[in-house]
Amino acid sequence: MKETPSAWKDYPYVRLENIGRYVDEKVVVKGWLRRMRSSGKILFLQMRDGTSTIQAVAVKGEAPEEVFKTAKTLTPESSFEILGSVHRDERSACGYEIGIEDLHIISGSVGYPITPKEHGVDFLMDVRHLWIRSMRQHAVLRIRAEIMRSISEWLDNNGFLRVDSPILTPSACEGTSTLFETDYFDTKAYLTQSGQLYGEASAMAFGRVYCFGPTFRAEKSKTRRHLTEFWMVEPEMAFTDLDGCMEIQEQMISHVVANVLKHRLPELKTLGRDISKLEAIKAPFPRLSYDDAVEYLRSKGHDFKWGDDFGAPDETVIGEGYDKPVFVHHYPCSCKAFYMKPEPGREEVCRSVDLLAPEGYGEITGGSQRIDDFKLLEQRIKDNGLPLEAYQWYLDLRRYGSVPHSGFGLGIERTVAWICGIEHVREAIPYPRTMSRIHP
């Protein structure tokens, strides 16, 4: 590894996203080679530095012969730095060009495995640690960061306090069939499937809270919507019913989409996203009861039995009927989690709500009003075959000042996949974990 030439120290080191502030000035830029092209006496180097890409130009006769020679030895993904002057150039991707005066190789790169030819997804996933250097993956992961930032921004500005839930837990939240189990000294622990139960405790302490972190499910499904490690934001609100829960979701999601359109338009364009589809995402979102959704499916010729949960194809059909996400509420208790409040007067359905994204992306959030009655909750825990002892702390929330409360969980990768318009959630997280992949 070679150090920056000491003669360069009088010039500012500039990251490419800020290069526009240095027009006609001499600066140092540092990055990696995307590709090189030469046309006779001119050498064009595409340098990326993580924030943007710039074209660097060396002209024979103008740049020193030594510099020209060194530049020619650069290979894809070699790291290097340039001393040069910045010019405006409308033809370049970032709007600027740099004229090379001196060039210094930091470290070489031999046989970089990703080449301009088409690669299969399996191969690209094997080299995911390198694939994230590409333009398309940059776009997706920048949009992901913007989505996560905007979610926190909206919640922080609307009276929510971030109170995170633990990852190592003694009991299940979303059924026992997808638990990852681990030894915990002399007992067993599970990786959390959802921070919700702790979120409810936090809501009884602070009123409106959210937790935001990775969650884990040993899903034996190889679909384009399932990961075994995925990120979830889970708001939980005291003194809020199911309608209030839906209002918060539509406000938050509209804010997120508006922010992505405002701050990440170039990235959406890189992905070829149809912008008009995102511009339509404004609150309020349509609401459809489970009963009506079943009728709708039947009207489309699907032989659907009342009481069953919707599968991905059903969600796709329902979601395609709208140009905004659609809430489906009041599912049968039998296909939902133990803690959801049955509808008074119609106990076979519960105050649950799923939000289905348009364009066939399916469920992106799941939520409900929670059972607030001690006796009923205790009964539901028993009926679901869960160990009562492990839930005594959770029952305390109904022993000591129980209140009506609601919450939901939004899956980050499914939301990223929908907003980016990409096919599979595995590209919506930096290092995906699926049933068949824990590498790299």
Residues of this chain that interact with ligand 4AD (CB under 6 A) are 173-174, 194, 196, 217, 219, 226-227, 230, 232, 234, 363-367, 407-409, 411, 413-414, 425
Which tokens go with 25?
Answer: 């000035």
Integer Cα distance of 70 and 87 in angstroms: 23
Give 74 or 355: the residue with its C-beta nearer to Mg ion. 355
Give 268 or 357: the residue with its C-beta nearer to ligand 4AD. 357
Q: Name the one range near Mg ion by CB under 5 A: 206-214, 302-310, 366-374, 399-407.
A: 366-374
| Least separation in angstroms between CB 288 and ligand 4AD | 16
Residues 204, 401 contacting (CB under 8 angstroms): yes
Helices (H), 73-228: 121-126, 128-131, 135-157, 196-206
Give 325 or 407: the residue with its C-beta nearer to ligand 4AD. 407
| Least separation in angstroms between CB 273 and ligand 4AD | 20
Residues 120, 129 contacting (CB under 8 angstroms): no
| Least separation in angstroms between CB 183 and ligand 4AD | 24
Residues 435, 222 contacting (CB under 8 angstroms): yes
Which tokens go with 423?
Answer: 């096919």
| Least separation in angstroms between CB 39 and ligand 4AD | 47
Query: Torsion-angle region of residue 330: left (phi > 0), alpha (psi -120 to 50) or beta?
Result: left
The DSSP line for 323-337 is SS-EEEE--BGGGS-
Residues 247, 407, 154: CA angle, nearest 5 degrees = 55
| Contact of residue 76 among ligand 4AD, Mg ion, none (CB under 5-8 Å per partner type) | none
For residues 238 to 277, the per-residue mask of contacts with Mg ion, x marking binding by CB under 5 A and - elsewhere, is ----------------------------------------
Phi, psi of 55, deg, nearest 5 = -95, 125
Edge-first strand order for the sheet with 168-169 is: 168-169, 187-191, 181-184
| Least separation in angstroms between CB 217 and ligand 4AD | 5
The correct pick among 84, 358, 366, 407 for binding Mg ion (CB under 5 A) is 366
Number of residues located near Mg ion, criterion CB under 5 A = 1
| Least separation in angstroms between CB 191 and ligand 4AD | 13
| Helix, coil or strand: residue 344 | coil
The DSSP line for 266-294 is HHHHHTT--HHHHHT--SPPPEEEHHHHH
| Contact of residue 325 among Mg ion, ligand 4AD, none (CB under 5-8 Å per partner type) | none
407 lies in the binding site for Mg ion (CB under 5 A): no
| Least separation in angstroms between CB 209 and ligand 4AD | 11
Residue nearest Mg ion by beta-carbon distance: 366
Q: Name the one range near Mg ion by CB under 5 A: 132-140, 246-254, 362-370, 387-395.
A: 362-370
Give 102 or 314: the residue with its C-beta nearer to ligand 4AD. 314
| Least separation in angstroms between CB 4 and ligand 4AD | 44
Which tokens go with 248?
Answer: 């918060």
| Helix, coil or strand: residue 229 | strand
Give 78 or 365: the residue with its C-beta nearer to ligand 4AD. 365
Q: Which residues contact Mg ion by CB under 5 A?
A: 366
